[in-house]
Every structure is written in C-alpha cells, then in structure tokens.
Structure 1
Amino acid sequence: MAEIKAILTILLLTLVSLVLIPLQWIAVKLNLPIQKNLPHIWHKIATSLVGIRIHQQGAPAPNRPLLIAANHASWVDITVVGSLMPLSFIAKSEVSGWPVFGLFAKLQRTVFVNRTRRTETAAVADTIAVRMAEGDAMVLFAEGTSNDGNCVLPFRSALLGAATRAAGGDQESGVWVQPLSIAYQGLFGMPMGRVHRPHVAWYGDMELAGHLWGIFKHGALDVAVYWGEPVRVEAATDRKVLTRHLEREVRALTMAALRQKPVERFDSDEIEASEFFSNAEKTAKAGA
C-alpha cells in the first residue's frame, strides 16, 4: 500500500511539474512578476501530496529587504519553507548540477555559492544584496551544510555579510534578518525521537534517490516552523556578532520544538543580543 501511495504521489507531482515548469521558465525569461509565486504554488502542492503537515509559530516579517537565516536538516526543508511564502534560496553551487533538483533550484531563481572559492564570496554577497533590495525574501541555510535533525550546527558568517551590503552606507536604510527554525516532530502522527529523525534528515553521504523514495513512501510528517524576532541590520553591524546571535536564537527555537516545550533562552543569549545591538549602535555613532 505504501508503495502504491508513493507511485501515485510521484505521478501527480510529475503532472503538476509538467504544467508549472514551462510556465515558470517563461516567467523567468520574461522577468514576469508571477515568477515569484509559481514555485510557492508548487511547494504547497508538494507538501500536500506527500502528507507534510506544517505547524507554524510566529510569522515571517513583512519588512523588506529580508534575509531569513535557518537551520538545515534535509532537502525536505526547501519544500517546507517554500510552501510558506514566495521566496528564493541561497545554495551551494553543486546543487545546480543535480538531476531534477538543479532544474527546480534554477527555476526558483536560487543564488548559487561556490564554497571552494572564497574570493567569490563578496561577489555572491553583492548578488544576494541586489535581490534583497529588489524585494526578494532570501533564505540562507546558515550552517553551510545539513545535520541529522537533532541539533543545530555553528552558523557561518560569510554570507550574512550580504545583509550589511544590502543595507548600504545610508544610516536611514536597513535590512531585516529573521531567524527561522525547522524541526521534525512527528511521523504518522506519533512523536519522532532521536533515532527516527534521520529518516527525514538527509546529510553526510546519504543516497538521494533512496531518501526521496523513503519520504514519498512514508510521508505523513509533522514539521514545526518557528519564526524568531527579526533583527534590523545596518551597514555598520558586526556580522560575526550577528551570526552568533542568530545561531543561538535558532538553536533555542529548535530545541524547544524538538522537546515540544517553551523556548528557553539563557543569560548568555541575552548578553549576545545586547552585545549585538550595542556594537551596532556604537559603530553607527562612530561613523556619524
């Protein structure tokens, strides 16, 4: 029965893709406004067909420009987040060459990053800054890789520099950066423990085809999406302090979601947040 469900899901999703892919290709080529909405529609249909139930806490910031800094456990994260609102992703350059996934990423106007060439980081950050300035909400999986779904890895600060670049030198302008936690809580309506969470997580040397089949076959996932408070970033903001603040915020949200308990923030988090805001204010005053 599970195999039949998986085959039907794949067939239906293929039919939807055959309709939406040509439309999105035309929209991107002609730079039509609908290019931001068609991927969102695809992700909403995909989550519904697979049986992914999303439980949101908080809401995405309405402010623009907006950079969303999230944790990352699986390729499923992309469909989950993509179903919430029109947005685009920042991904490693290898993704562009993946079968099917690479095509979808390009059609969603993903910005690709070559992590082996640090000299290109500034150029990529500028590209992201331009997209944000144009009103695109950009999603950065700030760990730089995926994990087993039971933790949050250290965030990397390099591409968060895109936020300060997008802010520009005008102190009146600013960019919003919002932490986002994605946590897999349940499978078939039952709580998902540490042992079963890697069923959803895709990391290390896992084979993509087998993992895809497993998700289509079993599905029925409960995902908690927790939005943190957006932070206003200026050109003078210290991106490393910002990175530590976002990492601790996402970790606190993720641990709360996995334990299904209230968010616990420690004194160190409050100190980190106050350090971020005080440093930003001091630097801004010094440059005035």
Structure 2
Amino acid sequence: MSGWLPTAPCTPDGCSTHHGAPAGPLVAVGRLLAGITLVVAGVSLTPLVALLSGATRDRLTRRWARTVLRCFGLRVSIRFAGEPEPGLRTGVLVVANHISWLDIPLIAAVFPGRMLAKSEIRRWPVMGAMAARGGTLFVERERLRALPGTVRTLAAALSAGSRVIVFPEACTWCGRDHGRFTSAVFQSALDAGTAVRPVRITYRAADGRPSGAPSFVGDDTLPASLWRVVAAGGLTAEITVLPLIPAGRHTDRRALAHAARTAMVQGATAGAAAVRSTTAQDAEWLMAAQTAVASDSANLPASSVHQCVNSIPAPASSARTPS
C-alpha cells in the first residue's frame, strides 16, 4: 500500500465491541440470508429502476436501502440539524465520516446518488456489480496521476446535476475518533460551483452507546463483518443531516474541507434543541422536498465516468482514496 494513502489505527479486535445481547444464531442466519437476497434483487432490478424518473427512482432507492438495513438487523434513525433547505437546482456534494460498508445503504436511505469508491470494490462479488450499475464513480487510489481526472469527473457529474457522495476521511474509522478530511474531492465542488452537505454517521447499541459491531476496519474481511453485524442485537444506524455549506462560502478547498469536517465532528455533540430525530418513514416527506437534482438523467449510471482500469486488490478493508 502506498505510503501517502491515509490510514487509521483502528483494528477489528480493538474496535468491534458491542454493548447489548447478541442475536441468536438462527436469527443471525435469517438476517444474513434476507439481506443478501435483497441486495441481489437490487442488483438484478437496477437496469429497470434506472429507466424511471428521478423522483421515483430516488423514492424506490431510499425504501430499498432502508429495507436492506432492516434485513441485516438495524433500525434506521435520521436526525436533522436545523430545517431542510428547499430543493436545489444543481448537484450537491454529500460528505460523511466512514465507518462501515453499511454507510453506503445508510446514506442511500436519505440521499440516493452516485458514490465515489475505491476501484477494488468493483471486483467484489454482488456488491461490486450493484455499485457499478448504480453509477458509482471509481477512483484508482494507488495512482496519484489519476487524481486530477477523478476531480474533473466529479465536477462534471456535479455540474450535470448529480448528487455525489464521498467519504473524505479516505479510510474507515471505528467512529470513536475521526481522520482528517482529504481536500482533493472538495475541489470538484468548487469547480462545479455546488454546495456541500455534511452528514454524520453513528451506529448505536440498544442502550444508546456507540457500537463497534458495524466497524469495517484494518484487516477485517467482509464475511467476518457481515456475521458480526447480523449477530449483534439492538443495532441502530443513525445519520445526522447537517446544514448545507452554500456554494461560494469558501474559495479554497482546504478551508471547505475543514468547514465540512468541523460540522461533522460538532454534529456528535449537537444539543437537543438543534437536532430533531425522526424515523426513516417520517423523514420521507422532508427529503422529497429537498436535494432535488437538475434533471432526471443526472443520477443515471454512466460507464464513461468509471475510473477503474487494472485495479489492485486491497488486502485491508479500509476504503482509502487520495487526498
């Protein structure tokens, strides 16, 4: 692994603690089969869903993503820091902290869009096909020379009206601490003249304490992580939607990255008066009036934006991308 790539000190043994009673083995197996079945169904239906209008496609994606999380044994909680803004006529860059592979369906449950992911994911069984068909933008993290092209690709997608989702920590952390936000991806928002939407992801046990069961860090493997999730009892996937950072507020990518990370970190300690919690179902009407894209075609898959050629398999689970 290249020395310039971001890394996290988190390990499966040190970070996977879960406070709460475990699910029984039969329940865990049932969850695993149900979750995998629904993911496979999503892969199969992606070409048909891509033909639908933008609003219909987003609504179905949100509901599918919530159902996937429920099948794997997680409740979904959406929190709003302030009131949602009215619909946007341009694309938006959604940035979040990165803990687990579960982050992808969790964000899709609120903000369906085009993910930026390491090129290795395209080679994963089932999930790789789903990501590619869903319009994921892949980055070759080992090739520093590919970075300018990736930034141009992101800017083009944003300019076309797409909602683009990025994890700027560039590797997975367990949630107890956070990495710095790499600034390169924020240049795409500056180039496209679009707003940035920070969100914060937290996984909690039944008693409200953060849970390490979903953490996908270090040399963790996907099968081990899947089993740890389905075997945990009382898990809640929580996403806090933070206020938009309007286009033009920051003209330097490092200042914009710092502002987004500060908002995300402060989202962990936001007071009850500033944050409203709701269920995923109750949030549907709020999200429908928010984050509209400029055209129905903006979030459709496009093979021309896939930046992965001869990707290098990753032995570790951390999803690193260049700064």
Pairwise TM-score range, normalised by the shorter structure: 0.7 to 0.9
Deviation of 1:177 after TM superposition, in Å, equals 0.4
In structure 1, the residue matched to 2:286 is: none
- Verify: 1:125 aligned to 2:144, yes or no: no
- Verify: 1:42 aligned to 2:64, yes or no: yes
Structure 1's unaligned 5+ residue stretches are: 168-174, 264-288
Alignment of 1:89-238 (within 5 A): 89-167=115-193, 175-184=194-203, 186-187=204-205, 189-193=206-210, 197-234=211-248, 237-238=251-252
In structure 2, the residue matched to 1:65 is: 91
C-alpha distance in 2, partners of 1:118/1:31? 37
C-alpha distance in 1, partners of 2:31/2:170? 30
For residue 243 of structure 2, what is the amino acid of its counterpart?
Answer: E
Q: Alpha-carbon deviations, 1:27-63, whole Å to 9, x = none?
A: 55x6975665554333121122223222222266532
C-alpha distance in 1, partners of 2:100/2:178? 13
Q: Secondary structure at the match of 2:95?
A: strand
In structure 1, the residue matched to 2:282 is: none
Look at both structures and tell me which one has the larger radius of gyration over its CA atoms.
1
Higher relative contact order (CA 8 A, sep 6+): 2
In structure 2, the residue matched to 1:3 is: 25
C-alpha distance in 2, partners of 1:207/1:133? 36
C-alpha distance in 1, partners of 2:98/2:176? 11
Deviation of 1:9 after TM superposition, in Å, equals 2.2
**Do the aligned residues in 1 keep the contact of 2:32 with 2:226 (CA within 8 Å)?**
no
For residue 178 of structure 1, what is the amino acid of its counterpart?
Answer: R
More helix by share: 1
Structural RMSD (CA): 2.6
Q: Secondary structure at the match of 1:198?
A: coil
With the length of structure 1 as denominator, give the TM-score of the two structures.
0.76
With the length of structure 2 as denominator, give the TM-score of the two structures.
0.68
C-alpha distance in 2, partners of 1:32/1:24? 13
Q: Cα distance 1:158–1:60, how it changes in 2: closer, same or farther (>3 A)?
A: farther
Q: Alpha-carbon deviations, 1:49-95, whole Å to 9, x = none?
A: 22322222226653232101111111111121111232221111121
Deviation of 1:26 after TM superposition, in Å, equals 4.5
Matched residues, number: 247
Q: Cα distance 1:225–1:19, how it changes in 2: closer, same or farther (>3 A)?
A: closer
* Identity, % of aligned positions: 24
Structure 2's unaligned 5+ residue stretches are: 1-22, 275-323
C-alpha distance in 2, partners of 1:149/1:16? 27
